[in-house]
Amino acid sequence: MKKNAILLFIFLKSIIIFSQEEKESVFLFFDKNDKKKCAIEGESTYKNPKGKYLANKFEKKKEKKRILFNICDERFSFNRNSKIDTCDIKNLNELNIKSLEYIKNKYNKGREFKHHVFEKINIVEKISDTKIVKYYDVYWIGAWVED
């Protein structure tokens, strides 16, 4: 009986410790002038039986209340009323910049919704050779599907 109680206590303690893992805040780099392409999976058709399409790696769409950032096959939304910051490109080294693959891998390892995996996801956009814009607290919508 005492042994079972100790094992139960250790089990519950380990669950509490692992569930309280601190979430990180990350930045994704966005450069709309980059001409790289990404293979995106879509519907198979007669002309495209594999269902793979090439799309620009970075696409930005401005709407009335939000800005949509498409990075490969993922979409992020920024509320236009939220905080932005323009600064020198030299500040890139100070930011916790992660790749899209990193955030997707972290999502795939967990069991949370995409917008719950990180404390905050921010986008840093290169607007010139010397300037960047930081968009704070973007919302990870999920897979990009053309409207």
What is the rounded CA–CA span in Å between residue 29 and residue 97?
7
Tell me if 51 sits within 8 A of 41, measured CB to CB. yes
Tell me if 85 sits within 8 A of 94, measured CB to CB. no
Residue 142: the pLDDT is 67
Residue 65: the pLDDT is 92
Residue 147: the pLDDT is 45
Query: What are φ and ψ of residue 8, in 5° steps?
Result: -65, -40
Per residue of the chain (147 residues), give pLDDT as tens.
666 556 555 554 555 445 556 788 899 999 988 899 988 777 777 776 777 778 889 999 999 999 999 998 899 999 988 888 899 999 888 898 999 999 888 887 877 777 678 888 999 999 999 999 998 889 888 655 444
Q: Where are the domains of the chain?
A: 23-143
